[in-house]
Amino acid sequence: MKLRSCQRFVPGFGLLCFVATACMSYPGDRPDQPAAPIVLQGRHAIQIRTGVVDWSVDSDVSAGGISTDSGGFMGSLAYAYFARQDLAVGLTVGVLDSGTSTSLTPGGLTSESATVAPLLVGVTYYPQRLTITSRLLPYVSASAGPYFGSATNTRVGPAFAAESVSEVAFGLRLAGGIDWFTGRHFMLGIGAGYHFVSDFDERIGSVGDYSGPEFSIGLGWVL
């Protein structure tokens, strides 16, 4: 019998939505005190993002044993240069934490942990026609680059064995969201995207396909 649960996904994504909604509901561009339009062209931005990727938990119970597989958090550090008021180019370094997998059978215990770290170069476009206020800007982005995968597999019983795996795959990330520039040097954001990742030559942890959705919030500084 196989049980699949996404209960941990609901509160995780709900928390992201709550934080982002609270941030964006903070009084900013009041009708009686409109904020001056933010000038972005020629400036630099550094942003820290955190969220969830493929947030699910699988459990497999059978006569042969019990296995669990958990998803994980993601985090990234991004740099961007605004070549135009509505266009930025940048570099993102991130970690897609795929979590751990544990399998218990009559033959012993198997534990696998894996992490995939993308290094992406891309562009972000802020459509002027979709601007909500002078400082609340929707965006779409596309980036691509290598995804570095590493895993540690441990097996106990009847003998002990441990191995490490390192692989590189190519991937593409498409995303969209809203950035809120609360001041001259401060920004908040919420976004969602999808990672399209080619297969690794060897399996990284318990997962064979690292393509999947991403939901995140961000905190940044504009220089």
Q: What is the pLDDT of residues 150-190, one digit of tens each?
A: 888 777 766 666 778 888 999 999 999 999 998 889 999 99
- 2-25+42-222 has which CATH code? 2.40.160.20
Residue 3 has pLDDT above 50, yes or no: no
Confidence of residue 72 (pLDDT cuts 50, 70, 90): low
- DSSP H helices in the chain: 9-24
- With beta carbons less than 8 A apart as the criterion, state whether 221 and 183 touch: no
Whose structure tokens read 């266009």?
87
pTM for this entry:
0.75
The CA distances from residue 169 to 71, 94, 148, in Å, are: 20, 14, 7
* Chain mean pLDDT for the chain: 78
Closest CA to 23 of 123, 105, 135: 135
pLDDT tens digit sequence for 7-50: 444 444 454 455 445 444 444 444 445 567 789 999 999 999 99
Residue 193 contacts residue 26 (beta carbons within 8 Å): no
DSSP 97-112: EEEEEEEEETTEEEEE
d(CA 49, CA 133): 23
Of residues 146 and 12, the one with the higher pLDDT is 146
Farthest-apart Cα atoms in the chain, separation: 74
Domain range list for the chain: 2-25+42-222
Distance CA 205, CA 67 (A): 13
Q: What is the pLDDT of residue 25?
A: 47
